[in-house]
Copies of this chain bind each other. A is one copy, B any other.
């Protein structure tokens, strides 16, 4: 039987290790969904809506390295586009397969549903241009070459790609199926040697140096190589917010979280006092730099990015992070730099068990429950700002959408993460305001047999916004009042452990129950209105730096 356009694309994705496709079905996308569901090696994962599907694919890609998403024309792809933009910002590879009206319908400019009624069919495809690294409308003629180009670009850029499938083309046989596959562009050997020498010289010449491993290390699956650089050089390393858990936080060389001038002064003084700061894939964004309070002389810094490296003011292009790290792990000198040891979240010893739940109690209690290999998904807001300072156990990872910061991300992302790692514990901590955006996706955990532990922090409003706006009691930060603990049952999670806790003892007991119940768990944690993590309070003090240049 001849291979169709959609079959060819799915087979290429399968060879990359993609077996699961998130999405919402729609009529123009039937050929895509039919092909997935007819293929025993593939699995369709139907989400509640397309934005949630995109967030789930984002989460899946954080664990699995890449993900696939399918939506229908217009309504579906535009609903997902914020999730795609987030994946672009945060360097996650998502193959977005979009079902389109038949090419013949497009050519005839028919006024079909899911269009603007103006006979235009290229509009939505063009709207994605800024938020994908490559895109194509797949045809029988271009399918082999374009699939190849899109995959190569996605792996090079670690960002989403868009593949549009006119419904008639999707089921047409591929032409030119035997064409050879393009190879990814290798590093330029001359530039690579120069860059590695420059880095090695800078580190050798330094009295004190440290490493800042960044999120792009995770995105490229290069944690082992980055760890090898630490082992060879024996350099201490700190991490910024977005980069948390890129390397093992139990490592003796771990200094702790570096958050500009906002938090741990000892870490700040150490990092900013170094002669040489070796970044590996760091993004110097507002929330990664303590609201731009980071002060390191650019001349002293190095940053190894996906396809280029900067050493001081010198830029070295067309060299891949993987190759730079491989060389550095062999060539860096071994240093012995005195450095602080990473702290951890520790709770008060005199907590009243029957008292209200305080930030001082809650964050350390969450820290206490973490085990090796756990996956902690933290929503943007005060909760992630508290949890980021937990020192994570070996193999455990922390996930947050730090740059894009689209509230609502965490709940569906946690679902995607749990799908990608069903054998690890997935723990989701979200504020209730953010949870309201995407809460229905809780139903998918149960549907797919997953058993997350979900904490919904209910502080009666968008707390981080109350802290950052001019008048915290302005009513735009209020929310509809839900009975959160009743939600899982309504969403069909029939056997889950649920609880609503208002005291420290209740939280403690609920955590113990969640850890032993053998089902999914969902705990509403009620605190006073302004019970906030230390970093979020610090941000409140320095907020002006975020809003003016």
23 A-B pairs within 8 Å (CB atoms) are namely: A27-B469, A28-B547, A34-B469, A34-B474, A44-B475, A49-B436, A75-B85, A75-B405, A75-B406, A78-B81, A88-B116, A89-B117, A102-B549, A105-B547, A107-B549, A111-B286, A111-B403, A113-B405, A123-B131, A126-B130, A436-B440, A486-B486, A486-B489
| CB contact between A110 and one of B49, B292, B486 (< 8 Å): that residue | B292
Answer yes or no: A446 CB below 8 A from chain B CBs.
yes
Answer yes or no: A408 CB below 8 A from chain B CBs.
yes
Q: Which residues of A22-69 are within 8 A (CB) of B?
A: 24-28, 30, 33-34, 36-37, 44, 46, 48-51
Question: In the complex the two chains form, what is the Cα distance from A549 to B549 in whole Å?
Answer: 54
Measured between beta carbons, the chain B residues less than 8 angstroms from A483 are 489-492, 494
Answer yes or no: A14 CB below 8 A from chain B CBs.
no
Answer yes or no: A276 CB below 8 A from chain B CBs.
no
Please state if A85 and B116 are interface contacts (CB–CB under 8 Å).
Answer: yes
Q: How far is the CB of A74 from chain B (nearest CB, A)?
A: 7
Question: In the complex the two chains form, what is the Cα distance from A78 to B110 in whole Å?
Answer: 27
Q: A34-B470, A403-B113, A405-B75 are in contact. Are A490 and B480 (CB under 8 A)?
A: no
Please state if A115 and B127 are interface contacts (CB–CB under 8 Å).
Answer: no
Measured between beta carbons, the chain B residues less than 8 angstroms from A131 are 116, 123, 127
Answer yes or no: A462 CB below 8 A from chain B CBs.
yes
| CB contact between A86 and one of B75, B82, B440, B444 (< 8 Å): that residue | B75
Q: Which residues of A164-206 are within 8 A (CB) of B?
A: 167-168
Answer yes or no: A370 CB below 8 A from chain B CBs.
no
Q: A89-B116, A477-B25, A480-B443 are in contact. Are A111 and B284 (CB under 8 A)?
A: yes
Measured between beta carbons, the chain B residues less than 8 angstroms from A439 are 440
Number of interface residues of A (CB under 8 A): 99
Answer yes or no: A404 CB below 8 A from chain B CBs.
yes
| CB contact between A25 and one of B285, B476, B489 (< 8 Å): that residue | B476
Answer yes or no: A465 CB below 8 A from chain B CBs.
yes
| CB contact between A85 and one of B78, B113, B437 (< 8 Å): that residue | B78
Q: Which residues of A333-365 are within 8 A (CB) of B?
A: none
Question: In the complex the two chains form, what is the Cα distance from A23 to B46 in whole Å?
Answer: 27
Answer yes or no: A426 CB below 8 A from chain B CBs.
no
Closest chain B residue to A123 by CB distance? Answer: B130
Closest chain B residue to A106 by CB distance? Answer: B549
Measured between beta carbons, the chain B residues less than 8 angstroms from A88 are 116
Measured between beta carbons, the chain B residues less than 8 angstroms from A462 are 25
Answer yes or no: A112 CB below 8 A from chain B CBs.
yes
Please state if B115 and A480 are interface contacts (CB–CB under 8 Å).
Answer: no
Closest chain B residue to A90 by CB distance? Answer: B117
A residues lining the B interface (CB < 8 Å): 24-28, 30, 33-34, 36-37, 44, 46, 48-51, 74-75, 78-79, 81-82, 85-86, 88-89, 101-102, 104-105, 107-108, 110-117, 120, 123-124, 126-127, 130-131, 167-168, 283-287, 292, 402-408, 436-440, 443-444, 446-447, 462, 465, 468-471, 474-484, 486-487, 489-492, 494, 546-549
Closest chain B residue to A406 by CB distance? Answer: B75
Question: In the complex the two chains form, what is the Cα distance from A468 to B487 in whole Å?
Answer: 33
Question: In the complex the two chains form, what is the Cα distance from A433 to B28 in whole Å?
Answer: 17
Measured between beta carbons, the chain B residues less than 8 angstroms from A470 are 30, 34
Closest chain B residue to A77 by CB distance? Answer: B82
Q: How far is the CB of A95 from chain B (nearest CB, A)?
A: 17
List 6 extra interface pairs beyond A27-B547, A127-B130, CB under 8 A: A30-B465, A74-B85, A75-B405, A104-B549, A437-B440, A486-B489
Please state if B403 and A478 are interface contacts (CB–CB under 8 Å).
Answer: no
Question: In the complex the two chains form, what is the Cα distance from A495 to B462 in whole Å?
Answer: 25
Closest 5 CB pairs of A and B: A108-B549, A78-B82, A75-B406, A49-B437, A486-B490
